[in-house]
Structure 1
Amino acid sequence: MRGQIGSFYKLFYTLDIFTSYWIDYGVEKAWGSRLVARQWQIPIGVQLLPAGLLGLGMFTLKESVRWLTAEGRHEEAWRSLQWIRADSSAATETEMEEIRAGAEQESREREGFSFKELYAPWSHLKRVITAVAIFTAQQATGATAIAYFGPQYFKLLIGNDQTRSLLLTGIFGAVKVAACGTFVFFVAENINRKQILIWGAAFMAVCQITTAAVVTDVPRPASGDITSGGIATVALIYLFVIAYNFSWGPLPWPFVSEIFPTRIREPGIAIGVSSQWLFNFVFSVATPYMITNLGW
């Protein structure tokens, strides 16, 4: 179930982005240009609620059963598992024994680990490079840039209509959730990982190249105008994000966790995910300048 459960990270990520888009749209519809400050104060303020619930909720959680077991704190681990399962039956005891056996095996395999092992032998270094490349490529698809700067992108396509660009961004978010949810529940464990990444990248490339071609050929519409070129480019972006959420969106998370042996899995995944957030930052900083200066 690793592919499916690992992809849940991306599903909830897209669900939260979807929620934020519609909050932005609702604020724009409610106050528009009358109270401009509200348009950023309310969306940012709303974020304090889930953040506060998360922070306070952490005080009610038990420590990880597997971590306690690895640390030799077996009584605490057993109480934690009972709390998670709300049960102390024979099935829970069997699960506890499986966790202990797994933790002991992992401890033996990681004994004497050194970070030098990440780049020697070559097989380990190749895995680390693959993890970094997969997450860097995920950001290089442009999906994160579109997610962060959706309204600015749609303004380039439909004209300077703030309400309509936020509406299109909200629909964009709904498409993301539907596509990612379909992938997680029905596709994640049924299709070859490598083939999904290859065909997803190819389909996204076709959508983006076609979008660029249409935008260069069709003049930017005036505010409020709807043109066939604008409809076509919006549709292409929606198709692009469907392909992304069937491939490069959710899949790198379980994929990277599966390519490392137990001995180097934790630091290997950490390096891969660090590259994901590094290039997330790079493209987030660069995108506004690209929108302003590149045009099509």
Structure 2
Amino acid sequence: MRLPGTRLGAFRAYFFGFFICTAGFLFGYDTGIVGGILEFTSYIEDFGYKDQTTVSAVMVSLQNVGAFLSALSIFWVSELFGRKKTVQASMTVFCVGVILQVVPSHSLVCFYIGRFVAGLGLGAGTAVVPAYNAEMAPKEIRGKLGSGMQWLFALGVMLSYWIDYAVNVTLPVSSKQWQIPVGLQMVPAGVLALGLYGMPESVRWLAKKGRFDEAWKSLTWMRASEGTDVKAEFEEIRVGLEKELQATEGFRKRELLEPANRYRLLLAFFMFCAQQCTGMTALAYFGPQFFKLLVGNNTDQSLLITGLFGAEKFMTVGAYILFVSEMWGRKPTLWISALLMAGCFIIVTIVSKTTPEPDARATPAGIGMVAMIFLTNSIYQFSWGPLPWPYTAEIFPTRIRGIGTSVAVSTQWLFNFLFSLVTRYMMNSWGSYVFLFYAILDIIIALIVFLFVKETKGKSLEEMETIFNSKAAFDVDAVRREAMQDANEVNVHNKSADDP
């Protein structure tokens, strides 16, 4: 399917879409470093604690609390000041939090405060970026660009695992072992904040504010064209906003409770709740600890396996985005993959309970279980990892997309908090039965997707009103044809005027 605009416009769409997803990289990097630094003797000695389970639970959950609060409330800031400035401000807050973590305070309280502040910035950034990305992306590749959040997330996780492994085996026991992995987070945050100065504001946000001249400039810069198809796209955006205003004059809280919007809010809540309930985020946070359940108490070995796990995560989600993201429907991908992941977790549980416990040496059963977890990870990266990001951003109308994505992403942080808080305790109490728990959740998820999720692949943001039977629905194809016809007539008239 040809993209509107020019080749330069296609390049700009891809570059902007993946660049803005640097917020996903930060999310992934921060997720990945936690499990590693908790294994460092230097970190334990610097902060002088003995209860590792409680410290790890508090360290992860505090950041998730901050992220949840900011993600849920940031839409007001985003609607007032725009997507671009909000992302830049959130990255600044994130850097302040990182500084509080790396200062040599030897105080867990100071580190915890830094985690919470960094969470505020990270939650705000991850809540705004999906809407910003969806509002700028051509519909033909919106799923691919939106899935970039997961690809960059996977890249962040992979690099964090290998950095943890590298400092563990190359540096002597010192504060630098954990300060380097934590402090490096400021680099991508600074790049995103500064890099956005050269990027345009959201086309649809500008149009919603009545700043149509600026919106047109933003769209033509992104598409690198002022051709007929770009004019038709802009007219579709304009008419879509006009219909929304006619259907709901002025934003009211009750607008969120209209059947079409209530359904979308519930879907957004479910998508990110389900993403966390698959079990793969818990594996990302506590990879070394999970793999010790399978291969025994060998820190170097578990860190190495975790590094390979991160590399596989990055490669598989990359393969999905580059080759199949716009080929497969959203709905069948989600429910089929949930059932496949459930099957893998059940196999891991059975093998774990029918073979001798690992003793820090590789065994055929341990290798088989690790391979099965890697297969589960691949399935996740082709489905529940990337898809919730574009799906929850694309289903909402422009007027409530900000609050819709805030609800979606805050849900992710809420369940991130829940599972990060209880996972270590579940592992200590249940052992490998924790995999059976996630298998049951995956089966429930598959059933809900099959019954209630709607297909959105290949549809423009304005066409979502028809899919969800909204009062603001209109004949998008008719508007598009009329706009293209008008543009063609103008081109013919101009050509005739230019002819001698």
User: What's the TM-score once normalised by structure 2's chain length?
Assistant: 0.53
Counterpart in the other structure of 1:163: 300
Q: Shift of residue 50 of structure 1?
A: 1.8
| Contact 1:109/1:263, CA 8 A, preserved across alignment | yes
CA contact (8 A) 1:214 1:229 kept: yes
Deviation per CA, 1:196-226: give whole Å up to 9, x if none: 1111001100111111122222233223x11
Aligned to 1:233: 369
- Give the counterpart of 1:45 among 180, 183, 186: 183
The one-letter code matched in structure 2 to 1:247 is S
Shift of 1:176: 0.9
Q: Which amino acid aligns with 2:374?
A: Y
Q: 1:120 aligns with which of 258, 264, 271?
A: 258
2:331 is equivalent to residue 194 of structure 1: yes
Matched, 1:26 2:162: no
1:106 maps to 241
Task: Give the CA deviation at 1:124.
Answer: 3.2
Distance in 2 (CA, whole Å) between partners of 1:77 and 1:159 is 57
Alignment deviations for residues 25-74 of structure 1 (CA, whole Å, 9 cap, x no partner): 1111202xx31533311100211222222233344444334433432334
From 241, 252, 267, give the equivalent of 2:388: 252
**Structure 1 residue 95 and structure 2 residue 224: aligned?**
no
Alignment-derived partner of residue 343 in structure 2: 206
Which residue of the other structure, out of 281, 286, 292, is the alignment partner of 2:417? Answer: 281
How far residue 147 of structure 1 moved from its aligned partner, in angstroms, is: 0.7
Counterpart residue identity of residue 205, structure 1:
A
Structure 2 distance, partners of 1:263, 1:187, is: 31
| Equivalent residue, structure 2, for 1:15 | 155
TM-score, normalised to structure 1's length? 0.87
Instruction: Render the CA deviation track for 1:11-38: whole Å, top value 9, x for unaligned.
Output: 111111111111111111202xx31533
Q: CA deviation at 1:129?
A: 1.6
Asked whether the 8 Å contact 1:180–1:250 carries over to 2, the reply is yes
| Native 8 Å contact 1:128 1:268 kept in 2 | yes
Contact 1:176 1:241 in 2 (8 A): yes
- Residue 113 to residue 16, structure 1, CA distance change in 2 (3 Å): same
Query: Which one has more relative contact order, counting CA pairs under 8 Å at least 6 apart?
Result: 1
Note if 1:220 corresponds to 2:336. Answer: no
Question: Could you tell me how far apart the structure 1 residues matched to 2:362 and 2:328 are?
Answer: 39
Kept in 2: contact 1:256–1:272 (CA 8 A) = yes
**In structure 1, distance between residues paired with 2:309 and 2:266:** 32
What residue number does 2:378 align with?
A: 242
Distance (Å, rounded) in 2 between the aligned partners of 1:20 and 1:103: 43
Are 2:268 and 2:392, in contact at CA under 8 Å, matched by a contact in 1? Answer: yes
Residues 263 and 80 of structure 1, relative CA distance in 2, 3 Å threshold = closer
Matches within 5 A, 1:148-159: 148-159=285-296
Q: What amino acid does structure 2 have at the position aligned with 1:109?
A: E
Identity over aligned pairs, percent: 47
Aligned: 1:179 with 2:316: yes
Unaligned runs of 5+ in 2: 1-140, 433-500
Structure 1 residue 97, shift from structure 2 partner:
7.2
Please say if residues 157 and 221 of structure 1, whose CA atoms lie closer than 8 Å, have aligned partners that are also in contact: yes
Cα pair 1:70 1:107 within 8 Å, conserved: no
Once residues 426 and 314 of structure 2 are traced to their aligned partners in structure 1, the CA distance between those partners, rounded to angstroms, is 27
Per the TM alignment, residue 119 of structure 1 is displaced from its structure 2 partner at its CA by 2.3
1:83 is displaced (CA, Å) by: 5.9
Provide the C-alpha distance between the structure 2 equivalents of 1:78 and 1:120, rounded to a whole number of angstroms: 31
| Contact preservation (8 Å) 2:151, 2:314 | yes
How many residue pairs get aligned? The number is: 289
